[in-house]
Amino acid sequence: MSDSEVFHLGLNREMLTGAELAIVPGDPERVQRIAELMDNPVKLASHREFVTWRAEVDGKSVVVCSTGIGGPSTSIAVEELAQLGIRTFLRVGTTGAIQPQINVGDVIITTGSVRLDGASLHFGPLSYPAVADFACTRAMVDVAIENNLTYWTGITASSDTFYPGQERYDTYTKRVRKEYQGLMEEWQSMGVLNYEMESATLLTMCATMGLRAACVAGVIVNRTCNETPDTERLASVEPNAINTVVAAARSLLK
Active site residues: 8, 80, 168, 223
| Of the candidates 106, 67, 71, 92, the residue with the CA atom closest to the CA atom of residue 221 | 106
Distances (CA, A) of 32 to 85, 119, 141, 220: 21, 27, 24, 21
**C-beta of residue 40 within 8 angstroms of C-beta of residue 232:** no
Return the H-helix or E-strand segment holding 46.
strand 39-47
Residues shown for the chain? 254
Give the CA-trace dihedral at 232, 238, 239, 244, to 10 degrees. 150
How many CB atoms lie under 10 A from the CB of residue 190?
A: 10
